[in-house]
Amino acid sequence: MKQNYETVVIFDGALSEDVIRKENGKMEDFLKSNTEFEKTEVWGKRSLAYAIKKKKSGVYHLYTFQDQSEKNIAGKIEKFFKLNETVLRYLTVIKEIPKITERKIRRMPVIEDAIVEGVE
């Protein structure tokens, strides 16, 4: 079955921009050759909530692509990154497309009524 995927990759923030750009290029090439690659979003450098491999900052990249789920792309990505020391973390998930339905909007309550009732 065809699925939408997204992968977040955290590169080591201590590396220079050139190195990260090169690693990003490698990842894009990998996805282009294996999947139907869509796009890359660069979130930029962020400080980490806790240290990973004693590093305190990371450069976040988000990749979106489509692939057949039988091909186990998440496993392939893991193999691709496992020995890569420039990468601190990677997470591949099936993308959720948010649905906005009419029902949800109708469920909004009238707040004024509640306050009047409460005071009395």
Partner 1 sequence: MNKRYNSRLKKVCWFDQNATTPDYKDQKVVERFVTERGKIVPRRLSGVCSKHQKKLAVAIKRARYLAMLPFVAENIR
The binding site for partner 1 (CB under 8 A) comprises: 8, 10, 46, 48-50, 52, 58, 60, 62, 88-89, 91, 93, 96, 98-101, 104-105, 107-109, 114-115, 117-119
- Count of Cβ atoms closer than 10 Å to residue 48 Cβ: 15
What would the two tokens of residue 66 be? 């489509």
Closer residue to partner 1 (CB): 83 or 100:
100
**CA neighbor of 65 nearest in space, from 45, 34, 85, 35:** 35
Q: Extract long-range pairs of 75-80: CB within 8 Å, 24+ residues apart.
A: 76/34, 77/7, 77/30, 80/27, 80/30
Closer residue to partner 1 (CB): 29 or 41:
41
Least CB distance to partner 1 at residue 96 (A)? 7
Least CB distance to partner 1 at residue 33 (A)? 26
Closer residue to partner 1 (CB): 19 or 51:
51
For Cα atoms 45, 50, 55, give the angle at the middle one, nearest 5 degrees: 60
Least CB distance to partner 1 at residue 119 (A)? 7
Least CB distance to partner 1 at residue 116 (A)? 10
Q: Which residues contact 41 (CB under 8 A, 6 or more apart)?
A: 61, 62, 63, 64
Closer residue to partner 1 (CB): 33 or 118:
118
